[in-house]
Structure 1
Amino acid sequence: MTKQIDGLVSVIMPSWNTADYIAESIESVINQTYQNWELIIVDDCSTDTTDEIVNHFKDDRIRYFKNSINSGADITRNKALQHSRGEWIAFLDSDDLWHPEKLEKQIHFMEKNGYSFSYHNFEKIDEDSQDLGVTVTGPSLVTKKMMYHYGYPGCLTFMYNAKVMGLVQINDIKKNNDYAILLKLCKKADCNLLDENLAYYRIRKKSISHDKLYKKLKSHYDLFHICDKQTPLTSFYLACMNMIYGLHKKYKYEIRNQ
Protein backbone atom coordinates (compact mmCIF):
# COMPACT_ATOMS: atom_id res chain seq x y z
CA MET A 1 0.00 0.00 0.00
CA THR A 2 1.34 3.42 -0.95
CA LYS A 3 1.63 6.26 1.55
CA GLN A 4 -1.81 7.61 2.39
CA ILE A 5 -2.72 11.13 1.29
CA ASP A 6 -4.13 13.23 4.14
CA GLY A 7 -7.83 13.95 3.81
CA LEU A 8 -8.30 11.80 0.71
CA VAL A 9 -11.11 9.24 0.73
CA SER A 10 -10.56 6.08 -1.31
CA VAL A 11 -13.95 4.74 -2.38
CA ILE A 12 -13.80 1.00 -3.09
CA MET A 13 -16.28 -0.16 -5.73
CA PRO A 14 -16.17 -3.73 -7.10
CA SER A 15 -18.37 -4.27 -10.14
CA TRP A 16 -19.80 -7.19 -12.05
CA ASN A 17 -22.66 -6.91 -14.54
CA THR A 18 -24.29 -3.88 -12.91
CA ALA A 19 -24.61 -1.77 -16.06
CA ASP A 20 -28.20 -0.97 -15.11
CA TYR A 21 -27.11 0.69 -11.85
CA ILE A 22 -23.43 1.67 -11.84
CA ALA A 23 -23.92 5.10 -13.43
CA GLU A 24 -26.26 6.13 -10.61
CA SER A 25 -23.77 4.78 -8.04
CA ILE A 26 -20.89 6.72 -9.59
CA GLU A 27 -22.99 9.88 -9.73
CA SER A 28 -23.74 9.55 -6.01
CA VAL A 29 -19.97 9.75 -5.40
CA ILE A 30 -19.45 12.64 -7.82
CA ASN A 31 -22.27 14.55 -6.09
CA GLN A 32 -20.64 14.39 -2.66
CA THR A 33 -20.30 17.70 -0.83
CA TYR A 34 -16.87 16.42 0.27
CA GLN A 35 -14.89 16.42 -2.98
CA ASN A 36 -11.48 15.10 -1.92
CA TRP A 37 -11.97 11.50 -3.04
CA GLU A 38 -10.80 8.90 -5.49
CA LEU A 39 -13.18 6.25 -6.79
CA ILE A 40 -11.45 2.93 -7.43
CA ILE A 41 -13.61 0.67 -9.59
CA VAL A 42 -12.39 -2.86 -10.23
CA ASP A 43 -14.51 -4.78 -12.71
CA ASP A 44 -14.62 -8.56 -12.45
CA CYS A 45 -14.97 -9.37 -16.16
CA SER A 46 -18.47 -8.03 -16.71
CA THR A 47 -20.22 -9.25 -19.84
CA ASP A 48 -22.59 -6.29 -20.08
CA THR A 49 -21.90 -2.65 -21.00
CA THR A 50 -20.17 -1.68 -17.74
CA ASP A 51 -17.00 -0.63 -19.65
CA GLU A 52 -18.88 1.77 -21.87
CA ILE A 53 -20.79 3.32 -18.98
CA VAL A 54 -17.75 3.85 -16.74
CA ASN A 55 -15.71 5.31 -19.60
CA HIS A 56 -18.46 7.86 -20.15
CA PHE A 57 -17.40 9.61 -16.93
CA LYS A 58 -14.54 12.00 -17.63
CA ASP A 59 -13.24 12.58 -14.11
CA ASP A 60 -9.58 12.06 -13.22
CA ARG A 61 -10.59 10.99 -9.71
CA ILE A 62 -12.20 7.84 -11.12
CA ARG A 63 -9.68 5.01 -11.53
CA TYR A 64 -10.92 1.99 -13.46
CA PHE A 65 -9.28 -1.44 -13.45
CA LYS A 66 -10.32 -4.80 -14.86
CA ASN A 67 -9.49 -8.30 -13.68
CA SER A 68 -7.90 -10.49 -16.34
CA ILE A 69 -10.07 -13.41 -15.24
CA ASN A 70 -13.31 -13.60 -13.25
CA SER A 71 -12.02 -13.73 -9.66
CA GLY A 72 -14.90 -13.03 -7.25
CA ALA A 73 -15.77 -10.07 -5.04
CA ASP A 74 -13.10 -10.87 -2.43
CA ILE A 75 -10.12 -10.70 -4.78
CA THR A 76 -11.71 -7.76 -6.57
CA ARG A 77 -12.03 -5.78 -3.32
CA ASN A 78 -8.48 -6.75 -2.33
CA LYS A 79 -7.19 -5.40 -5.64
CA ALA A 80 -9.08 -2.12 -5.21
CA LEU A 81 -7.70 -1.73 -1.68
CA GLN A 82 -4.17 -2.30 -2.97
CA HIS A 83 -4.63 0.66 -5.33
CA SER A 84 -6.02 2.95 -2.60
CA ARG A 85 -4.12 6.07 -1.59
CA GLY A 86 -6.54 7.67 0.86
CA GLU A 87 -6.31 8.37 4.57
CA TRP A 88 -9.92 7.21 4.70
CA ILE A 89 -11.36 4.04 3.14
CA ALA A 90 -15.06 3.76 2.30
CA PHE A 91 -17.03 1.14 0.39
CA LEU A 92 -19.85 1.41 -2.13
CA ASP A 93 -21.14 -1.48 -4.22
CA SER A 94 -21.92 -0.68 -7.83
CA ASP A 95 -25.69 -0.87 -7.34
CA ASP A 96 -26.00 1.12 -4.09
CA LEU A 97 -26.16 4.89 -3.50
CA TRP A 98 -24.90 7.51 -1.08
CA HIS A 99 -26.59 10.61 0.26
CA PRO A 100 -24.69 13.72 -1.00
CA GLU A 101 -23.44 14.59 2.51
CA LYS A 102 -22.34 11.06 3.44
CA LEU A 103 -18.58 11.64 3.28
CA GLU A 104 -18.65 15.12 4.77
CA LYS A 105 -20.78 14.12 7.75
CA GLN A 106 -18.99 10.84 8.44
CA ILE A 107 -15.50 12.33 8.31
CA HIS A 108 -16.59 15.20 10.58
CA PHE A 109 -18.10 12.67 13.00
CA MET A 110 -14.88 10.65 13.12
CA GLU A 111 -12.47 13.57 13.34
CA LYS A 112 -14.52 15.36 16.00
CA ASN A 113 -14.62 12.27 18.24
CA GLY A 114 -11.24 10.75 17.40
CA TYR A 115 -12.78 7.60 15.88
CA SER A 116 -10.94 5.43 13.37
CA PHE A 117 -13.89 3.16 12.46
CA SER A 118 -17.55 4.10 12.04
CA TYR A 119 -20.80 3.32 10.25
CA HIS A 120 -24.24 4.89 9.77
CA ASN A 121 -27.86 4.08 8.97
CA PHE A 122 -29.21 3.33 5.50
CA GLU A 123 -32.53 3.05 3.73
CA LYS A 124 -33.70 0.27 1.44
CA ILE A 125 -34.68 0.95 -2.17
CA ASP A 126 -35.91 -1.34 -4.95
CA GLU A 127 -34.48 -2.04 -8.41
CA ASP A 128 -36.04 1.19 -9.69
CA SER A 129 -34.53 3.29 -6.86
CA GLN A 130 -37.90 3.62 -5.16
CA ASP A 131 -38.00 3.91 -1.35
CA LEU A 132 -39.18 0.69 0.33
CA GLY A 133 -39.96 2.46 3.60
CA VAL A 134 -37.36 0.65 5.70
CA THR A 135 -34.50 2.22 7.67
CA VAL A 136 -31.71 -0.01 8.98
CA THR A 137 -29.65 1.11 11.96
CA GLY A 138 -27.64 -0.71 14.65
CA PRO A 139 -25.99 -0.48 18.08
CA SER A 140 -24.35 2.83 18.97
CA LEU A 141 -21.08 0.93 19.55
CA VAL A 142 -20.10 -2.38 17.95
CA THR A 143 -17.32 -4.10 19.88
CA LYS A 144 -15.21 -7.01 18.66
CA LYS A 145 -17.45 -9.52 20.48
CA MET A 146 -20.59 -7.97 19.01
CA MET A 147 -19.10 -7.96 15.51
CA TYR A 148 -18.45 -11.70 15.75
CA HIS A 149 -22.09 -12.20 16.70
CA TYR A 150 -23.30 -10.19 13.72
CA GLY A 151 -21.86 -7.88 11.05
CA TYR A 152 -24.00 -4.86 11.94
CA PRO A 153 -22.39 -2.22 9.65
CA GLY A 154 -23.66 -2.37 6.08
CA CYS A 155 -20.85 -2.42 3.51
CA LEU A 156 -22.06 0.87 2.00
CA THR A 157 -21.93 2.57 5.42
CA PHE A 158 -18.63 1.82 7.12
CA MET A 159 -15.44 3.83 6.87
CA TYR A 160 -12.06 3.47 8.50
CA ASN A 161 -8.81 5.36 8.88
CA ALA A 162 -6.14 3.59 6.84
CA LYS A 163 -3.33 5.34 8.72
CA VAL A 164 -4.51 3.70 11.93
CA MET A 165 -5.88 0.39 10.61
CA GLY A 166 -3.50 -0.29 7.71
CA LEU A 167 -4.11 -2.26 4.51
CA VAL A 168 -6.89 -4.83 4.89
CA GLN A 169 -6.78 -7.98 2.75
CA ILE A 170 -9.04 -11.01 3.06
CA ASN A 171 -8.77 -14.67 2.14
CA ASP A 172 -10.54 -16.11 -0.89
CA ILE A 173 -14.18 -16.65 0.02
CA LYS A 174 -17.22 -16.51 -2.27
CA LYS A 175 -19.65 -14.77 0.09
CA ASN A 176 -19.52 -12.49 3.14
CA ASN A 177 -16.31 -10.84 1.98
CA ASP A 178 -17.52 -7.48 3.32
CA TYR A 179 -18.08 -9.17 6.70
CA ALA A 180 -14.56 -10.59 6.48
CA ILE A 181 -13.25 -7.02 6.24
CA LEU A 182 -15.26 -6.06 9.32
CA LEU A 183 -13.73 -8.96 11.28
CA LYS A 184 -10.25 -7.68 10.39
CA LEU A 185 -11.10 -4.14 11.43
CA CYS A 186 -12.90 -4.94 14.70
CA LYS A 187 -9.70 -6.43 16.10
CA LYS A 188 -8.13 -2.99 15.89
CA ALA A 189 -10.96 -0.65 16.94
CA ASP A 190 -14.61 -0.56 17.97
CA CYS A 191 -17.09 0.68 15.36
CA ASN A 192 -19.14 3.77 16.28
CA LEU A 193 -22.59 4.61 14.88
CA LEU A 194 -23.40 7.92 13.23
CA ASP A 195 -27.17 7.84 13.71
CA GLU A 196 -28.21 9.33 10.36
CA ASN A 197 -29.54 7.90 7.09
CA LEU A 198 -26.74 8.53 4.62
CA ALA A 199 -27.05 5.70 2.08
CA TYR A 200 -29.48 3.66 0.01
CA TYR A 201 -29.19 -0.12 -0.22
CA ARG A 202 -30.72 -1.64 -3.34
CA ILE A 203 -32.76 -4.81 -2.95
CA ARG A 204 -32.49 -6.89 -6.11
CA LYS A 205 -34.50 -10.00 -6.88
CA LYS A 206 -31.40 -12.09 -7.51
CA SER A 207 -29.50 -10.78 -4.48
CA ILE A 208 -27.51 -13.36 -2.50
CA SER A 209 -29.09 -11.78 0.58
CA HIS A 210 -32.13 -13.94 -0.15
CA ASP A 211 -30.29 -17.28 0.11
CA LYS A 212 -32.01 -20.04 2.04
CA LEU A 213 -31.11 -20.58 5.69
CA TYR A 214 -28.79 -23.56 5.17
CA LYS A 215 -26.82 -21.67 2.51
CA LYS A 216 -26.45 -18.69 4.83
CA LEU A 217 -25.29 -20.95 7.64
CA LYS A 218 -22.71 -22.58 5.34
CA SER A 219 -21.43 -19.24 4.05
CA HIS A 220 -21.01 -17.93 7.60
CA TYR A 221 -19.25 -21.13 8.64
CA ASP A 222 -16.81 -20.67 5.73
CA LEU A 223 -16.29 -17.05 6.75
CA PHE A 224 -15.16 -17.93 10.26
CA HIS A 225 -13.31 -21.12 9.33
CA ILE A 226 -11.56 -20.08 6.10
CA CYS A 227 -11.14 -16.33 6.55
CA ASP A 228 -10.78 -16.06 10.30
CA LYS A 229 -9.03 -19.41 10.88
CA GLN A 230 -11.40 -20.49 13.64
CA THR A 231 -11.79 -24.19 14.57
CA PRO A 232 -14.70 -26.10 12.99
CA LEU A 233 -16.61 -26.12 16.31
CA THR A 234 -16.09 -22.41 16.94
CA SER A 235 -16.97 -21.61 13.34
CA PHE A 236 -20.23 -23.55 13.60
CA TYR A 237 -21.07 -21.85 16.89
CA LEU A 238 -20.42 -18.37 15.47
CA ALA A 239 -22.42 -19.17 12.33
CA CYS A 240 -25.39 -20.17 14.50
CA MET A 241 -25.02 -17.04 16.60
CA ASN A 242 -25.15 -14.99 13.40
CA MET A 243 -28.48 -16.57 12.49
CA ILE A 244 -29.88 -15.71 15.93
CA TYR A 245 -28.53 -12.15 16.02
CA GLY A 246 -29.68 -11.66 12.43
CA LEU A 247 -33.26 -12.23 13.57
CA HIS A 248 -32.65 -9.90 16.52
CA LYS A 249 -31.32 -7.21 14.21
CA LYS A 250 -34.34 -7.50 11.94
CA TYR A 251 -36.67 -7.09 14.92
CA LYS A 252 -34.78 -4.31 16.73
CA TYR A 253 -32.85 -2.37 14.09
CA GLU A 254 -34.99 -2.52 10.94
CA ILE A 255 -37.54 0.27 11.28
CA ARG A 256 -40.59 0.57 9.05
CA ASN A 257 -41.13 4.23 8.24
CA GLN A 258 -44.61 5.62 8.82
Structure 2
Amino acid sequence: MTAHVQTFDHGRIRELRLARPPVNALDPALCRALIAALDHAVAGDADAVVLSGAPGIFSAGLDVPHLMALGEDRHALRAAWGAFFGAARALAELRIPVVAAITGHAPAGGCVLSLCCDYRVMARSPDPAKPFAIGMNETQVGLAVPDGAQQLMRRVIGQHRAERLLVAGHMVPAEEALKIGLVDELAEADHVLPRAVAWLENLLRLPRAPMLQTRALARADLVQALDPDRLHLDRFVEGWYEPDTQAGLRALLARLGK
Protein backbone atom coordinates (compact mmCIF):
# COMPACT_ATOMS: atom_id res chain seq x y z
CA MET A 1 0.00 0.00 0.00
CA THR A 2 1.25 3.50 -0.85
CA ALA A 3 -0.13 6.98 -0.35
CA HIS A 4 -1.66 6.86 -3.82
CA VAL A 5 -2.59 3.19 -4.38
CA GLN A 6 -4.31 1.11 -1.72
CA THR A 7 -3.98 -2.67 -1.80
CA PHE A 8 -6.62 -5.20 -0.78
CA ASP A 9 -6.54 -8.94 -1.28
CA HIS A 10 -9.59 -11.00 -2.22
CA GLY A 11 -8.09 -14.44 -1.92
CA ARG A 12 -5.45 -14.60 -4.63
CA ILE A 13 -6.93 -11.60 -6.47
CA ARG A 14 -5.20 -8.29 -5.68
CA GLU A 15 -7.29 -5.10 -5.73
CA LEU A 16 -5.34 -1.93 -6.48
CA ARG A 17 -7.46 1.08 -5.59
CA LEU A 18 -6.47 4.50 -6.91
CA ALA A 19 -6.44 6.80 -3.90
CA ARG A 20 -5.60 10.36 -4.81
CA PRO A 21 -8.57 12.51 -3.74
CA PRO A 22 -10.68 14.13 -4.86
CA VAL A 23 -10.80 12.67 -8.40
CA ASN A 24 -7.79 10.37 -8.77
CA ALA A 25 -6.10 12.78 -11.16
CA LEU A 26 -3.15 11.02 -12.76
CA ASP A 27 0.02 12.88 -11.86
CA PRO A 28 3.48 11.26 -12.18
CA ALA A 29 3.52 10.16 -8.53
CA LEU A 30 0.23 8.26 -8.89
CA CYS A 31 1.32 6.71 -12.19
CA ARG A 32 4.62 5.55 -10.70
CA ALA A 33 2.81 4.17 -7.65
CA LEU A 34 0.48 2.18 -9.90
CA ILE A 35 3.40 0.73 -11.86
CA ALA A 36 5.11 -0.30 -8.61
CA ALA A 37 1.91 -1.86 -7.26
CA LEU A 38 1.40 -3.87 -10.46
CA ASP A 39 5.01 -5.08 -10.34
CA HIS A 40 4.56 -6.08 -6.71
CA ALA A 41 1.36 -7.99 -7.49
CA VAL A 42 3.10 -10.01 -10.20
CA ALA A 43 6.19 -10.61 -8.07
CA GLY A 44 4.02 -11.80 -5.18
CA ASP A 45 1.39 -14.50 -5.16
CA ALA A 46 -1.47 -12.66 -6.88
CA ASP A 47 -3.14 -14.57 -9.72
CA ALA A 48 -5.10 -11.56 -11.01
CA VAL A 49 -5.68 -7.85 -10.39
CA VAL A 50 -8.66 -5.54 -10.05
CA LEU A 51 -8.03 -1.85 -10.70
CA SER A 52 -10.61 0.27 -8.88
CA GLY A 53 -11.27 3.92 -8.07
CA ALA A 54 -13.36 6.04 -5.74
CA PRO A 55 -17.17 6.06 -5.56
CA GLY A 56 -18.45 8.30 -8.34
CA ILE A 57 -15.10 8.62 -10.10
CA PHE A 58 -12.73 5.98 -11.41
CA SER A 59 -10.15 8.54 -12.52
CA ALA A 60 -10.62 12.01 -13.98
CA GLY A 61 -7.60 11.49 -16.23
CA LEU A 62 -4.37 13.45 -16.35
CA ASP A 63 -3.83 16.11 -13.71
CA VAL A 64 -4.23 19.15 -15.97
CA PRO A 65 -3.52 21.77 -13.25
CA HIS A 66 -0.23 19.98 -12.54
CA LEU A 67 0.66 19.86 -16.23
CA MET A 68 -0.20 23.52 -16.76
CA ALA A 69 1.92 24.48 -13.76
CA LEU A 70 4.95 23.07 -15.59
CA GLY A 71 4.83 26.08 -17.91
CA GLU A 72 7.44 25.96 -20.66
CA ASP A 73 9.35 23.03 -19.15
CA ARG A 74 8.94 20.65 -22.10
CA HIS A 75 11.19 18.04 -20.50
CA ALA A 76 9.00 17.84 -17.38
CA LEU A 77 5.84 17.80 -19.49
CA ARG A 78 7.13 14.93 -21.60
CA ALA A 79 8.15 13.05 -18.44
CA ALA A 80 4.66 13.47 -17.00
CA TRP A 81 3.00 12.11 -20.14
CA GLY A 82 5.61 9.37 -20.26
CA ALA A 83 4.74 8.34 -16.70
CA PHE A 84 1.08 8.09 -17.61
CA PHE A 85 1.68 5.97 -20.70
CA GLY A 86 4.14 3.93 -18.66
CA ALA A 87 1.27 3.06 -16.30
CA ALA A 88 -0.95 2.20 -19.26
CA ARG A 89 1.79 -0.07 -20.68
CA ALA A 90 2.22 -1.75 -17.31
CA LEU A 91 -1.47 -2.69 -17.38
CA ALA A 92 -1.34 -3.79 -21.01
CA GLU A 93 1.76 -5.92 -20.47
CA LEU A 94 0.63 -7.43 -17.16
CA ARG A 95 1.20 -11.19 -17.26
CA ILE A 96 -1.90 -11.90 -15.18
CA PRO A 97 -5.51 -10.90 -15.93
CA VAL A 98 -6.70 -7.47 -14.81
CA VAL A 99 -10.24 -6.09 -14.57
CA ALA A 100 -11.26 -2.43 -14.31
CA ALA A 101 -13.87 -1.83 -11.61
CA ILE A 102 -15.17 1.49 -12.92
CA THR A 103 -16.94 2.98 -9.93
CA GLY A 104 -17.97 6.23 -11.63
CA HIS A 105 -16.93 8.59 -14.41
CA ALA A 106 -13.88 7.61 -16.47
CA PRO A 107 -12.87 10.41 -18.86
CA ALA A 108 -9.65 10.70 -20.88
CA GLY A 109 -6.81 8.98 -19.03
CA GLY A 110 -9.27 7.08 -16.87
CA CYS A 111 -10.79 5.61 -20.01
CA VAL A 112 -7.32 4.76 -21.37
CA LEU A 113 -6.41 2.82 -18.22
CA SER A 114 -9.67 0.90 -18.32
CA LEU A 115 -9.11 -0.06 -21.97
CA CYS A 116 -5.79 -1.62 -20.99
CA CYS A 117 -7.65 -4.11 -18.80
CA ASP A 118 -9.10 -7.47 -19.87
CA TYR A 119 -12.66 -6.67 -18.76
CA ARG A 120 -14.56 -3.59 -17.61
CA VAL A 121 -17.37 -3.52 -15.04
CA MET A 122 -18.98 -0.08 -14.75
CA ALA A 123 -21.31 1.31 -12.10
CA ARG A 124 -24.83 2.47 -12.77
CA SER A 125 -25.35 5.95 -11.37
CA PRO A 126 -27.77 6.18 -8.43
CA ASP A 127 -29.40 9.06 -10.35
CA PRO A 128 -30.63 7.85 -13.77
CA ALA A 129 -30.82 11.47 -14.93
CA LYS A 130 -27.06 11.83 -14.33
CA PRO A 131 -25.46 8.62 -15.63
CA PHE A 132 -21.81 7.89 -15.20
CA ALA A 133 -19.89 8.27 -18.47
CA ILE A 134 -16.70 7.02 -20.07
CA GLY A 135 -14.73 8.19 -23.07
CA MET A 136 -11.76 10.10 -24.44
CA ASN A 137 -12.89 13.73 -24.34
CA GLU A 138 -9.50 15.25 -25.14
CA THR A 139 -10.63 17.23 -28.20
CA GLN A 140 -13.17 19.03 -26.02
CA VAL A 141 -10.27 20.79 -24.27
CA GLY A 142 -8.04 21.19 -27.32
CA LEU A 143 -5.88 18.07 -27.10
CA ALA A 144 -5.22 15.55 -29.85
CA VAL A 145 -5.47 11.85 -28.97
CA PRO A 146 -2.22 9.97 -29.78
CA ASP A 147 -2.60 7.17 -32.30
CA GLY A 148 -1.67 4.50 -29.78
CA ALA A 149 -4.43 5.64 -27.43
CA GLN A 150 -6.90 5.75 -30.31
CA GLN A 151 -6.04 2.15 -31.14
CA LEU A 152 -7.15 1.07 -27.67
CA MET A 153 -10.66 2.26 -28.43
CA ARG A 154 -10.69 0.94 -32.01
CA ARG A 155 -9.88 -2.59 -30.86
CA VAL A 156 -12.96 -2.79 -28.61
CA ILE A 157 -15.67 -0.85 -30.48
CA GLY A 158 -14.48 -0.80 -34.11
CA GLN A 159 -12.77 1.80 -36.23
CA HIS A 160 -15.74 3.79 -37.53
CA ARG A 161 -17.49 4.16 -34.18
CA ALA A 162 -14.19 4.97 -32.47
CA GLU A 163 -13.51 7.70 -35.03
CA ARG A 164 -16.86 9.34 -34.31
CA LEU A 165 -16.34 9.30 -30.54
CA LEU A 166 -12.69 10.36 -30.60
CA VAL A 167 -13.06 13.26 -33.03
CA ALA A 168 -16.05 14.65 -31.12
CA GLY A 169 -14.50 13.96 -27.72
CA HIS A 170 -17.79 12.33 -26.77
CA MET A 171 -18.37 10.96 -23.29
CA VAL A 172 -20.54 7.84 -23.47
CA PRO A 173 -23.21 7.20 -20.79
CA ALA A 174 -22.90 3.82 -19.08
CA GLU A 175 -25.88 2.14 -20.76
CA GLU A 176 -24.68 3.20 -24.22
CA ALA A 177 -21.14 2.16 -23.33
CA LEU A 178 -22.43 -1.34 -22.60
CA LYS A 179 -24.36 -1.48 -25.89
CA ILE A 180 -21.33 -0.59 -28.00
CA GLY A 181 -18.89 -2.75 -26.04
CA LEU A 182 -16.88 0.04 -24.46
CA VAL A 183 -17.60 -1.67 -21.14
CA ASP A 184 -18.48 -5.33 -20.66
CA GLU A 185 -20.90 -5.25 -17.76
CA LEU A 186 -22.96 -2.82 -15.66
CA ALA A 187 -23.69 -3.26 -11.96
CA GLU A 188 -25.01 -1.28 -9.04
CA ALA A 189 -22.19 0.68 -7.43
CA ASP A 190 -21.84 -1.68 -4.46
CA HIS A 191 -21.68 -4.69 -6.77
CA VAL A 192 -18.98 -3.46 -9.17
CA LEU A 193 -16.06 -4.84 -7.20
CA PRO A 194 -17.74 -8.21 -6.42
CA ARG A 195 -18.63 -8.64 -10.10
CA ALA A 196 -15.04 -7.84 -11.13
CA VAL A 197 -13.73 -10.42 -8.65
CA ALA A 198 -16.32 -12.99 -9.78
CA TRP A 199 -15.33 -12.60 -13.45
CA LEU A 200 -11.70 -13.19 -12.56
CA GLU A 201 -12.54 -16.18 -10.36
CA ASN A 202 -14.32 -17.81 -13.31
CA LEU A 203 -11.36 -17.11 -15.58
CA LEU A 204 -8.91 -18.51 -13.05
CA ARG A 205 -10.76 -21.85 -13.01
CA LEU A 206 -9.45 -22.52 -16.51
CA PRO A 207 -6.18 -24.43 -17.02
CA ARG A 208 -3.69 -21.71 -16.17
CA ALA A 209 -0.92 -22.03 -18.78
CA PRO A 210 -3.17 -22.33 -21.86
CA MET A 211 -5.34 -19.44 -20.64
CA LEU A 212 -2.37 -17.15 -20.05
CA GLN A 213 -0.72 -18.09 -23.36
CA THR A 214 -3.92 -17.45 -25.31
CA ARG A 215 -4.45 -14.17 -23.45
CA ALA A 216 -0.93 -12.98 -24.30
CA LEU A 217 -1.48 -13.66 -28.01
CA ALA A 218 -4.92 -11.99 -27.98
CA ARG A 219 -3.53 -8.85 -26.34
CA ALA A 220 -0.40 -8.46 -28.46
CA ASP A 221 -1.99 -5.63 -30.46
CA LEU A 222 -2.79 -3.81 -27.23
CA VAL A 223 0.87 -3.90 -26.18
CA GLN A 224 1.97 -2.79 -29.66
CA ALA A 225 -0.44 0.16 -29.58
CA LEU A 226 1.34 1.57 -26.54
CA ASP A 227 4.84 1.21 -27.96
CA PRO A 228 6.55 4.61 -27.59
CA ASP A 229 6.98 4.77 -31.38
CA ARG A 230 3.19 4.74 -31.75
CA LEU A 231 2.65 7.51 -29.23
CA HIS A 232 4.92 10.23 -30.72
CA LEU A 233 5.18 12.04 -27.39
CA ASP A 234 7.58 14.69 -28.71
CA ARG A 235 5.00 15.70 -31.30
CA PHE A 236 2.29 15.63 -28.67
CA VAL A 237 4.28 17.87 -26.32
CA GLU A 238 4.80 20.44 -29.07
CA GLY A 239 1.07 20.38 -29.76
CA TRP A 240 0.43 21.13 -26.09
CA TYR A 241 1.72 24.66 -26.66
CA GLU A 242 -0.47 25.38 -29.70
CA PRO A 243 -2.70 28.45 -29.11
CA ASP A 244 -5.95 26.47 -29.51
CA THR A 245 -4.78 23.86 -27.04
CA GLN A 246 -3.65 26.39 -24.46
CA ALA A 247 -6.95 28.28 -24.77
CA GLY A 248 -8.90 25.07 -24.24
CA LEU A 249 -6.79 24.09 -21.25
CA ARG A 250 -7.12 27.51 -19.65
CA ALA A 251 -10.89 27.31 -20.11
CA LEU A 252 -10.85 23.90 -18.39
CA LEU A 253 -8.86 25.31 -15.47
CA ALA A 254 -11.39 28.13 -15.14
CA ARG A 255 -14.22 25.59 -14.96
CA LEU A 256 -12.30 23.65 -12.33
CA GLY A 257 -11.74 26.84 -10.36
CA LYS A 258 -7.97 26.46 -10.52
Task: Select the structure that is richer in helix.
Answer: 2
Higher relative contact order (CA 8 A, sep 6+): 1
Settle same-fold status: TM greater than 0.5.
Answer: no
TM-score range, shorter chain: under 0.3
Give the structure-1-normalised TM-score: 0.28
